[in-house]
Amino acid sequence: MKKAKLTLKSRDALIGTAFMLPWVIGLLAFTMFPLIYSIWLSLCQVEFSPNGIVTEFVGPKWYIEAFTADAKFITDMINTMKSIVFTMPMIIVAAIILALLLNTSIKGRAFFRVLYFFPVIIISGPVMSKLMSNQATTIIHPDQYAIYTVLENLPGVLSVPLCYIFDNIVTILWYSGVQMLIILAGLQKIGDPIYEAASIDGASSWQKFWKITLPHLRPMILVSAAYTIVDLAGMTTTPIHSLIMNNMMNTEKPYSYSSALSWLYTIAVLLLLAIVFLILKERRKERHVR
Amino acid sequence: MFGKKFKAKAQAEGKNIVLNAVIYFLLICIGFVYLYPFLYMIVTSLMTTEDLINPTIMWVPTKLDLSNFEMVWGVLDYPTSLLTSIIFSVICALLQTICCALMGYALARFNVPFKKLWVVLLILTFIIPADVVMIPRYILFNSFKMIGSPLAMIIPAALGQGLKSSIFVLIFMQAFSAVPKSFDEAAQLDGAGRIRVFFKIALPMAVPSIVLCIIFSLVWYWNETAQTAMLVGSDFQTLPLQLQSFDALFGASFSTSFGDASNRLNERYQFAATLLTIVPLMLFYLVMQKQFVKGIESAGITGE
């Protein structure tokens, strides 16, 4: 009896493995192997030869070069990370506001939801860059208004983000579609009873938002933030992406240098994700008793 | 701004016309920001040269002019590119969905070895920027002489390493986990094997997720340009790739007569091209909008 059960169990694992097999093969061939090979490339001098490519180990030379000899890398990296760090919170705030608006009991919600999600479907690198380069996304021409000069003259801490919002309002809203729906799903999970209980205890709407809605949304905000960072980091319009692509066939250092750059970029993105995770992860002390 | 609040108030006071008006106002304003680039694009692409120069004409062209589209139609090689795009993204989407469904089912229902490790790797593949695996993938496909063939995109898709595959695996994992285990057990008591259970019970129960994954995969493959441009190259032109090289193509087709046109004049062709590129997706979205929106809301990629 016991023996039969064991074989059943291992048979089970075997069928399960068969289900996984395509994905695992893909993972090894198209993700794990490239990852490891790319680390190797980034530490090598690569030469083309008739029989393919020849690699010669040179150590962390390209990494050092990226920081010491390539001024473009540092500025492109800073600009890319800056735009991610700036845009991500704005997308999240926009998504929360949109989700709250759409979570009301007004008519036409479905229509607006469909409308707000629309850009997610049609945006691709070329479409976005065509729209941006032809001024279709600068909706307010801010320099025409006095308010913009007022904003510009505010202290840097205030003026930089505010001007950034004005300049990028279309982009921010367009990239918040998925996040909006994730947060909307989160909002709909918070039951009415908890709000009613808070009302009975005399909580104001403002208090309810900060004490009930936001804490309940924390996991959704975390997911949205991670999604936003990955989404923004993967965009083809980032300066660092074009730098990596341009260096790929650099005749003096083909493959190797851009591999090193892509690893530095990956590390930066992972660090950013880790920071966001640490800030947004659920803290034991504050956890609510449902 | 704060939905739930308003709901409670509405019940308490019975009337909230002012608040509703504010909400509508905000929704419409934001809606305008969403639509503005499209309206601007559509209007500009319909304008003639005279309309574009005339500063008094902002929104309404004096006459409907479709010549921009005729011109761009040829430059983009529209029928061929459209067909290429459709075939390419449908194949990739279907294969990717199949592989991700299998993987999702394995993680949801089987005691496979190293389960935790696979989930961690799954998330890792999602997080890592595509740039880092691009170069080795290029070398890999190059050594098999597959650069320039759509197979270089299709094979990773079929093996679950395509665009955002991890999200699809997680969606399927969620969907299959939601099917009550007692269904499986009942079928197994009646003599069905695990594979039969998968086809007869799990798959039919997961149809909404399957639809969601196929359409999202389709859209993402349609819009993908970075990897496609590099791995599949120039002989194989999808619509977005044509759009990306539109300026060069346009210059080649009409080098002398339009070469000196100022940017403002050129922009109507660019917009006409962009519009032609996204029209198929717009139609697709109009037909499938319910599945899109419902799908994401119920897909359970929301924090679990």
- Tell if the CB–CB gap between B225 and A127 is shorter than 8 Å: no
CATH number at residue A229: 1.10.3720.10
State the pLDDT at residue B260: 45
| Cβ-proximal residues to B15 (8 Å cutoff; 6+ apart), any chain | none
Contact B172, B119 (CB under 8 A): no
% of chain B beyond a pLDDT of 70 = 81
Greatest extent of chain B over all pairs of C-alpha atoms, in Å = 78
Q: Is ipTM > 0.95 here?
A: no
State the pLDDT at residue A104: 82
State the pLDDT at residue A149: 67
A250 phi, psi to nearest 5 deg: -55, 120
State the pLDDT at residue A154: 67
State the pLDDT at residue A148: 64
State the pLDDT at residue A229: 93
B232 phi, psi to nearest 5 deg: -100, -30
- Tell if the CB–CB gap between A136 and B40 is shorter than 8 Å: yes
- Tell me which residue range forms the domain holding A89: 30-280
Element (H, E) at A53: strand A52-57
In CATH, B78-299 is 2.60.120.260: no
% of chain B beyond a pLDDT of 90 = 11
The whole-angstrom distance between residue B288's C-alpha and the CA centroid of its chain comes to 12
Tokens of A230: 């990955």
- Tell if the CB–CB gap between A219 and B31 is shorter than 8 Å: no
State the pLDDT at residue A268: 93
Mean pLDDT of the A20-47 span = 90
Res. B13 pLDDT band, cuts 50 70 90: low
Chain B CB within 8 Å of residue A165 CB: no
- Tell if the CB–CB gap between A266 and B131 is shorter than 8 Å: yes
- How many other C-beta atoms are found inside a 10 Å radius of the C-beta of residue A65? 15
Contact A289, A227 (CB under 8 A): no
Mean pLDDT of the A62-83 span = 88
- Tell if the CB–CB gap between A127 and B30 is shorter than 8 Å: no
Residue A15 lies in a domain: no
Closest CA to A254 of B150, B138, B147: B138
Residue A44 lies in a domain: yes
Res. B104 pLDDT band, cuts 50 70 90: very high
Q: Report the distance separating Cα A101 and Cα A189, nearest Å.
A: 16
Lowest mean per-residue pLDDT among B53-62, B230-239, B252-261:
B252-261
Q: Report the distance separating Cα B221 and Cα B238, nearest Å.
A: 10
Which chain A residues are within 8 Å of B160, Cβ to Cβ?
22-23, 26-27
Residue A61 lies in a domain: yes
Contact A261, A69 (CB under 8 A): no
Query: What does pLDDT average to over chain A?
Result: 82
Which of A29-33, B1-5, B141-145 has the highest average model confidence (pLDDT)?
A29-33
B190 phi, psi to nearest 5 deg: -80, 5
Chain B CB within 8 Å of residue A66 CB: no
Mean pLDDT of the B63-73 span = 77
Q: Which residue of B has its CA nearest to A264?
A: B132
Res. B286 pLDDT band, cuts 50 70 90: confident
| pLDDT tens digits, A251-266 | 778 888 889 999 999 9
Using DSSP's 3-state secondary structure scheme, residue A89 falls into helix
| Cβ-proximal residues to A63 (8 Å cutoff; 6+ apart), any chain | A42, A260, A263, A264
State the pLDDT at residue A284: 60
| Cβ-proximal residues to A81 (8 Å cutoff; 6+ apart), any chain | A268, A272
**Facing B6 at nearest CB: one of A22, A52, A104:** A104
Mean pLDDT of the A222-247 span = 87
List the beta bridge partners of residue A46. A55
Which of A8-17, A63-72, B6-15 has the highest average model confidence (pLDDT)?
A63-72
pLDDT at B262 over 50: no
Which chain A residues are within 8 Å of B41, Cβ to Cβ?
131, 136
| Sign of the torsion formed by the C-alpha atoms of B222, A176, A112 and B37 | negative
Q: Chain A interface, mutation test: which of B131, B154, B159, B264, most A Cβ atoms within 10 Å?
A: B131
State the pLDDT at residue B152: 87
| Cβ-proximal residues to B284 (8 Å cutoff; 6+ apart), any chain | A121, B215, B218, B219
A110 or B299, which is more confident: A110
**Facing B111 at nearest CB: one of A12, A263, A269:** A12
Contact B48, B61 (CB under 8 A): yes
- Sketch the domain layout of chain B as residue ranges: 2-45, 78-299
Q: Report the distance separating Cα B35 and Cα A46, nearest Å.
A: 49
Chain B CB within 8 Å of residue A173 CB: yes
Distances (CA, A) of B78 to B82, B228, B249, B250: 6, 18, 13, 13
Contact B75, B196 (CB under 8 A): no
pLDDT at A286 over 70: no
Buried b (16+ CB within 10 A) or exposed e, B168-203: bbbbbbbbbeebeeeebeebeeeebebeebbeebbb
- Tell if the CB–CB gap between A213 and B297 is shorter than 8 Å: no
pLDDT at A96 over 90: yes
- Rounded to two decimals, what is the model's pTM? 0.84
Q: Token pair 């500063």 is at which residue?
A: B55
Mean pLDDT of the B50-66 span = 68
Which chain A residues are within 8 Å of B297, Cβ to Cβ?
181, 184-185, 188
% of chain A beyond a pLDDT of 90 = 21
Residue A134 lies in a domain: yes
- How many other C-beta atoms are found inside a 10 Å radius of the C-beta of residue A125? 20
Which chain A residues are within 8 Å of B294, Cβ to Cβ?
none
- Tell if the CB–CB gap between A245 and B297 is shorter than 8 Å: no
**Facing A35 at nearest CB: one of B24, B133, B224:** B133
Lowest mean per-residue pLDDT among A21-30, B50-59, B181-190, B242-251:
B50-59
One DSSP character per residue, chain B reads --HHHHHHHHHHHS--HHHHHHHHHHHHHHHHHHHHHHHHHHHHHH--HHHHH-TT-SS--SS---HHHHHHHHHHTHHHHHHHHHHHHHHHHHHHHHHHHHHHHHHHH---TTHHHHHHHHHHHHHS-THHHHHHHHHHHHHTT-TTSTHHHHHHHHTT-STTHHHHHHHHHHHHHHS-HHHHHHHHHTT--HHHHIIIIIHHHTHHHHHHHHHHHHHHHHH--HHIIIII-SSS--HHHHHHTHHHHHHHHTHHHHTT--HHHHHHHHHHHHHHHHHHHHHHHHHHHHHHHHHHHHS--S--
State the pLDDT at residue B66: 75
- Tell if the CB–CB gap between A41 and B121 is shorter than 8 Å: no
pLDDT at A53 over 90: no
Side-chain-facing half-sphere of B89: CA atoms under 13 Å: 24
Residue A285 lies in a domain: no
Residue A240 lies in a domain: yes
Contact A172, A94 (CB under 8 A): yes
Res. B29 pLDDT band, cuts 50 70 90: confident
- Tally helices (H) and strands (E) across chain A: 14, 2
- Tell if the CB–CB gap between B3 and A101 is shorter than 8 Å: yes
- Tell if the CB–CB gap between A136 and B36 is shorter than 8 Å: yes
pLDDT at B288 over 70: yes
Mean pLDDT of the B237-241 span = 83
CA–CA min distance A31, chain B (Å)? 7
Mean pLDDT of the B74-94 span = 89
Q: Report the distance separating Cα A173 and Cα B278, nearest Å.
A: 19
Mean pLDDT of the B247-265 span = 55
Q: Token pair 């294969």 is at which residue?
A: B95
Contact A125, B220 (CB under 8 A): no
Contact A84, A169 (CB under 8 A): no
A268 or A3, which is more confident: A268
Chain B CB within 8 Å of residue A123 CB: yes
Closest CA to A127 of B248, B173, B224, B216: B224
Residue A10 lies in a domain: no
Residue A22 lies in a domain: no
Q: Report the distance separating Cα B162 and Cα B158, nearest Å.
A: 8
List the beta bridge partners of residue A48. A53
B93 or B9, which is more confident: B93
State the pLDDT at residue B253: 61
Res. A23 pLDDT band, cuts 50 70 90: very high
Using DSSP's 3-state secondary structure scheme, residue A285 falls into coil
pLDDT at B180 over 80: yes
Res. B299 pLDDT band, cuts 50 70 90: low
| Cβ-proximal residues to B88 (8 Å cutoff; 6+ apart), any chain | B150, B153, B221, B236, B238
Give the count of domains, chain A: 1
| pLDDT tens digits, A148-191 | 666 666 666 667 777 777 777 888 888 888 888 888 888 888 87
State the pLDDT at residue B259: 44
